[in-house]
Amino acid sequence: MTGDEAAVLELGLRALALVVLLAMCALAVLDFVCELTRRRSLGQRFQTWSRRYPIYSFALILVIGALLAHFFWQEATAPPLRP
């Protein structure tokens, strides 16, 4: 992997981490707003949905598990970046 490819990869990973962090912050704010307005929280809504549709919730858990396994078990083929 060349230096340019490594820089592009690093930029992409940083952008992905930023998107995930912003999504989590948005969900936390939405959950806080639901709490302030005395509506059901996101966790309660998801729990109701998963009890109503157990096959879909099982499939969702399988997909999330496969994505996490793919992310953590991939081989590191590139040497570490130097500062």
Domain ranges of the chain: 3-73
As a whole number, the mean pLDDT across the chain is: 90
pLDDT tens readout for residues 33-77: 999 999 999 999 999 999 999 999 999 999 999 999 988 887 766
Q: Tell me, what DSSP letter sits at residue 82?
A: P
Residue 3 has a pLDDT of: 80
Asked if residues 42 and 34 have their Cβ atoms less than 8 Å apart, the reply is: yes
Query: Is the model's pTM score more than 0.85?
Result: no
Q: Are 7 and 82 in contact (CB under 8 A)?
A: no
| DSSP-assigned states of every residue in 1-42 | --HHHHHHHHHHHHHHHHHHHHHHHHHHHHHHHHHHTTPPPH
Contacts of 38 (CB under 8 A, 6+ apart): none
- 5 pLDDT band, cuts 50/70/90, is confident
